[in-house]
Amino acid sequence: MTSASERPLAGLVARLLGHGAARLRESRAPADLQHRIRLLGVTSKARWTDPHWPGHRY
């Protein structure tokens, strides 16, 4: 169950990952920005080990 303060954030993330991500691709936004938006939807360890996560060490 999400708290009242978490619901607006969840809605924003859902919009960015759905409609927003498609618009970023269509507008040819920089790849770095597209990856950062995509990372909003990645959870747990997968987020921190993603090679596009800022500060990721290879």
DSSP states of 30-48 as a string? -HHHHHHHHHTT--HHHHH
pTM assigned to the model: 0.62
How confident is the model at residue 3, as a pLDDT? Answer: 73
pLDDT digits (tens, 9 = 90+) for 19-47: 888 888 899 999 988 888 888 888 778 88
Rounded CA gap, 44 and 47, in Å? 6
Could you tell me the end-to-end alpha-carbon distance of the chain, in angstroms, rounded to an integer?
36
Q: What is the pLDDT of residue 30?
A: 93
Q: Tell me: the pLDDT tens digits for 2-23?
A: 677 777 878 888 887 888 888 8
